[in-house]
Structure 1
Amino acid sequence: MASTRRKAAYAAAASAAATDGPVGFAQRVGSIPRMVRDVMSGRFDGIGRGRLLIMLLAAVYIVSPIDLLPEAFLTLPGMIDDAGIAAWLIAALFGATTAYRHWESGRVDSPTVDDPRVVPGEVLHP
């Protein structure tokens, strides 16, 4: 089952990279400051301030020398916990920037990040 999930994650990442490319990635990264500003001002409600705070704390944890499982003593587990948090942060940012860019462009079909029933994605045509 984990192998199936891993393959699905790789396929989703490859699809996103092929769709967005380097320019799309740069646009996503460039939209993060605008998204933070619009969330804090209350204009964009696709993600909450709490989720934004958790994303910030995850970024601080990744770059911080203080870890729950330090790499100096527990090499492999110490790197795995950072990698897991980094993977979650990338996925969360990808979903949040997707929702924000839909909202920013004025589309009404924008996915809601906090709704557990909604899975953001794209329809793939053969």
Structure 2
Amino acid sequence: MAKTLKRTAAFAALGRALTAGARGGPGLGTRLAALPRMIKATASGEYDGGLRLAMMTAATIYVISPLDFVPEAFLAIFGLVDDVVAATWLAGAVLAETERFLAWEARQKGVIPGTVLP
């Protein structure tokens, strides 16, 4: 059930990203430009996207690597299905995570670092 909800959220983010220009939300270019900042914020411990970035990195490696769980050479079209599923998940995950990161980044701009005085 949880996997289905996460998958649904990723596809919903994909749909929102593709129609963002018409609604005034962050476009694809803005989201892609946020990736290096998201990686840097995660590496420094400011942002909590470590596991999600690791999963996206693993999916990227799987899609571009010549090794496959289901080889195309033997199973033709069925061998491509796992790559399509991984690439689709990756696209949705990147869009969902960049949307989450951009919202987090917007909230951080309103925070003034320092000590709270009683």
Answer yes or no: same fold by TM over 0.5. Answer: yes
Count of residues in correspondence between the two structures? 96
| Residue 58 (structure 1) aligns with | 59
Q: Which amino acid aligns with 2:41?
A: D
Could you tell me how far 1:16 is from its partner in structure 2?
A: 3.0
Letter of the aligned partner of 1:31 in structure 2? Answer: A
Find the counterpart in structure 1 of residue 28 from structure 2.
Answer: 25
Q: Which has the higher relative contact order, 1 or 2, with Cα contacts under 8 A spaced 6 or more apart?
A: 2
Structure 1 distance, partners of 2:16, 2:101, is 20
Q: Secondary structure at the match of 2:52?
A: helix
Aligned to 1:41: 44
SS in 1 for 2:70: coil
Tell me: CA distance 1:58–1:105, structure 2 relative to 1, closer, same or farther (3 Å): same
Where does structure 1 lack aligned partners over 5 or more consecutive residues? Answer: 1-8, 108-126
Where does residue 94 of structure 1 map in the other structure? 95
Secondary structure of the structure 2 residue equivalent to 1:30: helix
- What is the Cα deviation at residue 56 of structure 1? 0.3
Runs (5+) with no aligned partner, structure 2? 1-10, 109-118
- The 3-state SS of whatever aligns with 1:66 is coil
Percent identity between the two aligned chains:
36
Aligned to 1:119: none
Please say if residues 17 and 95 of structure 2, whose CA atoms lie closer than 8 Å, have aligned partners that are also in contact: no
Q: Relative to 1, partners in 2 of residues 1:34 and 1:15: Cα closer, same or farther, differing over 3 Å?
A: closer
TM-score normalised according to structure 1 size: 0.67
Output aligned runs, 1:5-16, within 5 Å. 13-16=14-17
Query: In the alignment, residue 38 of structure 2 is paired with which amino acid?
Result: M
Q: Which structure carries more helix by proportion?
A: 2
Relative distance call for 1:15 and 1:99 in structure 2 (3 A) is closer
Instruction: Give the Å deviation of 1:50.
Output: 2.3
User: Greater Rg, structure 1 or structure 2?
Assistant: 2
